[in-house]
Structure 1
Amino acid sequence: MATSLNRTEKEGAAMLSLTGRFPAAVGDMNTQKKRVLQYLRSQTSLLDKYVLMARLRATHMHLFYKIVVEELQEMAPIIYTPTVGTACLEYSNIYPFLSPPGVPDGLFLSGMDDYETLCDTIRNYNSSSAGSPEIAVISDGSRILGIGDLSCNGMGIPIGKLQLYVAGAGIDPRRTLPILLDLGTNNERLRTDPFYIGQRKPRPEDNEFYETVGRVLKALKTVYPSLLIQFEDWSSEHAFGLLEKYQNQLLCFNDDIQGTGAVILSGIINAITLAHTESGVSPDIHRIIFYGAGSAAIGVARQIQSYFQIDCGMTEEQARRHFWIVDSKGLVTLDRGDKLPQHKVYYARNDNGGQQYKSLLDIVNYIRPTVLIGLSSTPGAFNTQILNRMAELNARPIVFPLSNPSTKAECTFAEAMLATDNRVIFASGTAFPAYAIPETQTTCYPAQGNNMYIFPGLGLGAVLAQPKAISDIMIYKAAKALAASLTVQERKQGWLYPSLDRIRQVSAIIAEAVCCESIEEGSATNEVKDAFAKGQLLSYIEDHMWSPEPKLLKNKI
């Protein structure tokens, strides 16, 4: 309830020359939160809600994060997927309304700048009294979600990801750095749009691209040597190229490849366990089709392969043979007759006897898969005929339509349930509503393979442990920790992922796994090693998680 200013507050207002600039009533944070939520919920457009929350973040950071942290289930779809896709499409139009004049929405870097200019620009951006940035999310906007090349309009992605770092793992928002590297765009519509805010030139060839990105990364690490860099929404070829080049040189990871791979690995581990428990399918006989062959698909496949190698004791070659990759031309084979991009070659089949398979139904009939994973951005690709066939082949078919946003998903939860007699083990990349089985009125809830389960905890662990690089085994340990984080009740309900309401607890568990692996590899800080030696590592991690409530900030303010 609002109250009048007391004498001390009046004196303080006078000292700050605020007298007369604000109304007399003062509301506490809970009252302010209720006011914002009431107005936010009155808006019918998700884009309007996005703009409102962006403005609040720029003007009242603590209130923004109080709402996001405490109402995460409601806020996540507004500040990130699916709304962020629309926000990116409209970014040049809504840009003036996202923050007050003079308050930057993120750091825009140009490929034309030299090294010294880049260093100066990076230094000039940070004005926080909280210290140097700990995490940067950087994109060139070349492959935004399932939409494509949006270049500068893609700034909403680094901003959104860092908001989820704060909400999910307690990264101090004042120590986050959203970056859009403007290299031009091949999107002709943007180049001719009078309101477009980026450079109106084509993207560079590969040689210039890698030289420019290398210069930017060098500048970032010069200014902030301990910075964790997360690559986000780069084109598939460049995503793999950058990861291969810098994975062992810098403290960095690619969320589309490694984060997506880890979170889906976690869900697959629990799905395989469920299928084994309920229908006796041995973990080592699964046959997995990937419909879609971009960076996310190959990243997921590599992570699942690590499970077969480490947990099932297979050789690399044995594990690799459990995967079949399908692109827009059909089953990926070595003798298909087209030149395969490098990232597809590893899983290209050579045991097809010269036979080529184009349609997904023909491929399903040929392979008889136990698992069907979609990362194609092709809505409806898992149609009733495909899902019926999966149910004929398996007592508990595993179907993961992972494309984002929901309009790009290969099937919905309701479609999968109906077509499989409610036997599907399901996880999607976007949120779907619950489904009530008509005969029993039992309500079933779909799992969502949300990267938010992995990257906040992975990032927090890396920030605290400060390893020289994020190793493949760290990613694997993060996925295993997520899979093991379910409560007994969540497992009884057949869930594949924990409740998002527990995301900070889950992120701390994942960060602990990352720190432990960093200790094992001999690369952790002394503080992390000391906390581990005392049996207090989890508490140490929790103590370093930022909270929007001042009384909970401990030594972080």
Structure 2
Amino acid sequence: MDAAKRSQLGLNGLSPVRVETLDIQKKRALHQLRSKHTLLEKYIFMAQMRTTNTHLFYKIVIEELEELAPVIYTPTVGTACLEYSNIYPFLAGPGVSDGLYLTDNTSSDLITMIQQYQPFPNETFQPEIAVISDGSRILGLGDLGVNGIGIPIGKLQLYVAGAGIDPRKTLPIILDLGTNNTKFLEDEFYLGLRQHRPNDQQFYEIVDKVIQSIHSVYPNILIQFEDWSSEHAFGLLEKYQKKMLCFNDDIQGTGAVILSGVINAIRKVQKESGVAPQDHRVVFYGAGSAAIGVANQIQHYFQIEHGLTEEQAKNIFWIVDSKGLITLDRGDTLAQHKIYYARDDNHGQQYKALLDIVNYVKPTILIGLSSIPGAFSSQVLTRIAELNEQPIVFPLSNPATQAECTFEQAMQATQHRVIFASGTAFPTYVEPNGKKHVPGQGNNMYIFPGLGLGAVLAKPSYISDRMIFAASKALADSLTPDEINAGYLYPSLPRIRQVSAIVATAVCQEAIDEKLAQSPDLLAHTASLLDYVVSHMWAPQSLHAPQPKSAASSTSRI
């Protein structure tokens, strides 16, 4: 910027004279980031950048995603949520909110609160996607109350980095209804409401009021439900799925991304070990919303792709909760979402220990969504390796501290024969002979950004189950020949934007096929859907930072 321009903008003497390229700014920022000693320190540094220089933040995240994804989301986001009330004052710039904090106010107050959230100075804020949580079940960490705001913020960062959603069109929301976590209720630094959560009737009334208020302000917004307690997650999805544009990432997103990995694992085992798809037996260790959502997705795959009846496909699954194998005659009252998969062929026998269940079922696939670290013991892993030439083991609980086993443990217990995917990142395993094995990661990041982008572009009246399945199938089919030959179950992370475009295109095509798409612009480009999707993906390089009108506005975030 020359002296005349600086003078015109009133900037003379207020900053150093040198004008730098974005690449130099990125280089400096990375130098500072890499000097931090802990992941939480890196999280705080990146959060400050996000709220003060969004343009630079997303350039770094997009171009260095493998390095930054674990910083801005799992596993670090779990620690950040646990510490959110302590670190909150250090995350955002002056006068900048990092998200929308809603409580149980009257409808008029809610509408005002929603309208006054304007995170980008001098920008018209018209969000296309909102991620909303009540903080009641954050990752595998439980009820974190208002501290759970880190999850909606993190998810929307991945929408921008992974699928090119414009950051100015994202809305992170935490619905603060209190917490049943005694630790936070007694913590002098806790920033949320110091009250216990409402009963179910009050809960659904409050959420309905909030949803109506959001739609009153932003009628066409896509709402992603994230990290709600299992019962409420299913209840909200059942209530709203066909009434508005929404989905639940824990149920549908997790189900879709794990199904994609399972599809590729089944293909690999069939090709290399001759195990037919219909001969698989799947044990789920964990019976929350994510587990049942994954089971539903895999079941639909067996029905749609392999011609099994609903009953035949359902009988492939054995679900385990904290009391053991779920059966109809176990003697306890089952939560509604568990009843469908409860077994009735156990001949009165009950099994509690996972090793006993493995010996009874003889599974080919073991999936963990229990948040119980170490649940897949060496004995369990060794036994499943004795039963299968290529055992499929997916310990999916997040963060890493809650995972049922590590990649190293699975490799060692199965003599390096395991087909593995986890919910959190694990390091490459190297055999004594130097052979390297790269673990798969069933990260929802492979699904929800593309699913959301496709929904925003197609504007369907609702997101159907077949759209979710189309997203999953597209992800499974997106592997390159090199990735298949390397034994990958998921694409390499640097390809995430390309993969998200493929997923979004599949969602758009399914919306068109089901006659649910309502976007005239999309319907005019059906012959070149992929090109249309790619052309609508935001990238930092495509924006020009608005010129500041004064020194006070010279730190504009975009």
Give the TM bin, normalised by the shorter chain.
Answer: over 0.9
Counterpart position of 2:554 = none
Q: Distance in 1 between matches of 2:311 and 2:201?
A: 33
- Please say if residues 265 and 489 of structure 2, whose CA atoms lie closer than 8 Å, have aligned partners that are also in contact: yes
Counterpart position of 2:457 = 464
SS of aligned partner of 1:290: strand
Counterpart position of 1:25 = 18
Q: Does 1:278 align with 2:242?
A: no
Counterpart position of 1:352 = 346
1:111-143 Cα shifts (integer Å, max 9, x gaps): 1x1112211211111365255100000000000
Q: Distance in 2 between matches of 1:205 and 1:442?
A: 55
* Corresponding residue to 1:291 among 276, 285, 288: 285
1:158-307 map, 5 Å: 158-307=152-301
Q: Does 1:126 align with 2:118?
A: yes
Q: Distance in 1 between matches of 2:73 and 2:331?
A: 40
- Please say if residues 462 and 470 of structure 1, whose CA atoms lie closer than 8 Å, have aligned partners that are also in contact: yes
Counterpart position of 1:380 = 374
- Please say if residues 142 and 151 of structure 1, whose CA atoms lie closer than 8 Å, have aligned partners that are also in contact: yes
Residue 26 of structure 1, CA deviation: 2.1
Provide the TM-score with structure 2 as the length reference: 0.96
Counterpart position of 2:552 = none
- Please say if residues 406 and 426 of structure 2, whose CA atoms lie closer than 8 Å, have aligned partners that are also in contact: yes
- Please say if residues 130 and 175 of structure 1, whose CA atoms lie closer than 8 Å, have aligned partners that are also in contact: no
Counterpart position of 1:310 = 304
* Corresponding residue to 1:94 among 87, 91, 95: 87
Identity of aligned residues (%): 65
Backbone CA RMSD of aligned residues: 1.2
Counterpart position of 2:550 = none
Q: Distance in 1 between matches of 2:77 and 2:496?
A: 21
Residue 226 of structure 1, CA deviation: 0.8
Counterpart position of 1:549 = 541
1:7-36 Cα shifts (integer Å, max 9, x gaps): xx2222222221111112222100110101
Residue 552 of structure 1, CA deviation: 9.0
Equivalent pairs counted in the alignment come to 543
Q: Distance in 2 between matches of 1:147 and 1:107?
A: 22
Q: Distance in 2 between matches of 1:11 and 1:156?
A: 43
Q: Distance in 1 between matches of 2:471 and 2:263?
A: 13
Residue 292 of structure 1, CA deviation: 0.6
Counterpart position of 2:48 = 55
- Please say if residues 126 and 132 of structure 1, whose CA atoms lie closer than 8 Å, have aligned partners that are also in contact: no
Q: Does 1:13 align with 2:41?
A: no
SS of aligned partner of 1:536: helix
Residue 287 of structure 1, CA deviation: 0.3
Residue 288 of structure 1, CA deviation: 0.1
Counterpart position of 1:390 = 384
- Please say if residues 96 and 119 of structure 2, whose CA atoms lie closer than 8 Å, have aligned partners that are also in contact: no
Q: Distance in 2 between matches of 1:130 and 1:450?
A: 33
Counterpart position of 1:520 = 513
Q: Distance in 2 between matches of 1:473 and 1:44?
A: 45
- Please say if residues 403 and 429 of structure 1, whose CA atoms lie closer than 8 Å, have aligned partners that are also in contact: yes
Q: Does 1:77 align with 2:70?
A: yes
Residue 315 of structure 1, CA deviation: 1.2
Q: Distance in 2 between matches of 1:374 and 1:62?
A: 38
1:329-340 map, 5 Å: 329-340=323-334
1:405-554 map, 5 Å: 405-438=399-432, 440-524=433-517, 525-532=519-526, 535-550=527-542
SS of aligned partner of 1:213: helix
Residue 157 of structure 1, CA deviation: 0.3
Structure 1 residue ranges (4+ consecutive) displaced by more than 4 angstroms after TM superposition = none
SS of aligned partner of 2:525: helix
Please tell me the residue identity of whatever aligns with 1:464. Answer: L
Please tell me the residue identity of whatever aligns with 1:412. Answer: T
Q: Distance in 1 between matches of 2:40 and 2:378?
A: 33
